Amino acid sequence: MTVATTAAAAESREILARLGVAAAVWSSDGFEARSPIDGSVAGRVAETPDLDAVSARSVAAFHQWKRLPAPRRGELVRLLGEELRASKDDLARLVTLEAGKIVSEGLGEVQEMIDICDFAVGLSRQLYGLTLASERPGHHMRETWQPLGPVLVISAFNFPVAVWAWNACLALICGDPVIWKPSEKTPLTALATQAVFDRAIARFGDAPEGLCQLVIGGREAGEALAADPRIALVSATGSTRMGRAVAQTVAARLGRSLLELGGNNAMIVTPSADLDMAVRAIAFSAVGTCGQRCTTLRRLLVHESVADGLIARLKAAYETLPVGDPREAGVLIGPLIDEAAAHGFDTALAHAVEQGGRIVVGGDRVDRDGVYVRPAIVRMPAQSAVVQHETFAPILYVLTWSDFDEAVAMQNAVPQGLSSCVFTDSVREAEAFLSAWGSDCGIANVNIGPSGAEIGGAFGGEKDTGGGRESGSDAWKAYMRRQTQTVNFSRELPLAQGVKFEV
């Protein structure tokens, strides 16, 4: 393994060794894994050579895995949760080193993995169907859910391990093998997670080979697997551009896709809002993970009567936000993932100014190794083209309104439809926001920001966000096939709808 001698690279190597990542995965010419903390090369990871063999192993594993009772499949996920608990600190530290998240966010992401394990274990005994009334005497009908087949998980860099867990834990208890193609920007956390899973497999005892496989590769690998008819479901998290390509590829073979794509999330602040709460919610939602969350707050829609005061308070808060090495105590904002992300940040701010915007605070680079920026607040005269575009960086656009219906219309007037929220003490405004003519997003919150969803609810959004749902509620149904069954326990053979056909 060729590595730089920086502290971040050295720490990555130590953690990977403790987590049991074999030296055989390294390559002198493989995918380069860099730490955004200082830009150092932490390692080069060998590309998966034979994707056809990966799919073949997954199909073979499916034929065995689906025969195990769901509660037994849940036992593997329970063991995975135990292994994640034992490895939480190391895996979280690796998330910080490779994705640039502050320590508490890295720990929170691994805790999310543990939580979805617990959820899935309970769910493994509750994969319920329906009993339906039959119109034919001596018959009964029922609806059941059956294992679907191999599931491909394509994950993004910003949640390098939690998104895999959301999908893998549900897929496994539903009877499906998993193939994981992580972002090429975060292969180390994927390797570490696979090593943790392998320990759970060893304890489980009778899992088939190929039940959960990791594919290291770039865009071409994801495209090839998405086009493979042996893959029953493609769950892809990333940009809307990527999602459109995946959807078209999978639809061309009449396959299934589950898409979690871009967000352009808004908060409506009304005159009755608790501004102390709103400031706190805005700060985390707009700058957490350096603005690199699909649920990041990107549009602040404020009533004109409270706008100046709220902006002044936010400006003061932004000026004190600690930006720096995410491993250091007190730091709240780590680096952007790479220079391309910083270029998007700079370009969006330039376009905002061209479109009449005024930068209230931030927007500049921080002079240190890695790619660090100061989060920006931009006051905009209208919801222009740059505001309607999701820039994956900490830019908060502020617009004002005078009528609540106008605010809801502004909230909905973007292509994306992931998360939304309103801060108000008015029951009428809150309920209108949550009504059929209110927010058009998959997530709608009152007096809480758009970011930081719990695993118990189904996660996902509408429009350009893709329409997929992961994690809690009945999201498990995406990983199974529905079957309507009819049993005739009589000695007659009546036809439905009174049809007569005697031979």
CA-based nearest residue to 235, from 184, 297, 176:
176
Q: Which helix (H) or strand (E) holds 317?
A: helix 307-319
Among the listed residues 260, 390, 429, 470, the single catalytic one is 260
Determine the residue type at 371.
V
Q: Show the tokens assigned to 385.
A: 């083209």
CA atoms within 13 A on the CB side of 460: 24
**CB-based burial label for 123 (10 Å; 0-12, 13-18, 19+):** buried
Task: Indicate if 294 belongs to the active site.
Answer: yes
CA-based nearest residue to 273, from 444, 434, 429, 433:
429
Report the C-alpha gap between 330 and 252 in whole angstroms. Answer: 50
Task: Indicate if 290 belongs to the active site.
Answer: no
Q: Show the tokens assigned to 333.
A: 């904002």
Q: Is the separation of the CB atoms in 277 and 447 below 8 Å?
A: yes
**CB-based burial label for 244 (10 Å; 0-12, 13-18, 19+):** middle
- Give CA separation, 202 vs 40, 169, 192, in Å: 34, 17, 16
Neighbours of 66 (CB within 10 A): 17
Neighbours of 375 (CB within 10 A): 23
- Three-state DSSP at 445 gives strand
Report the C-alpha gap between 280 and 502 in whole angstroms. Answer: 74
- Three-state DSSP at 133 gives coil
Q: Is the separation of the CB atoms in 387 and 356 below 8 Å?
A: no
Report the C-alpha gap between 282 and 287 in whole angstroms. Answer: 8
Give the phi and the psi of residue 36 in degrees, each rounded to 5. -65, -10
Among the listed residues 169, 174, 294, 441, the single catalytic one is 294
Tokens 């993995």 sit on residue: 113
Catalytic (active-site) positions = 260, 294
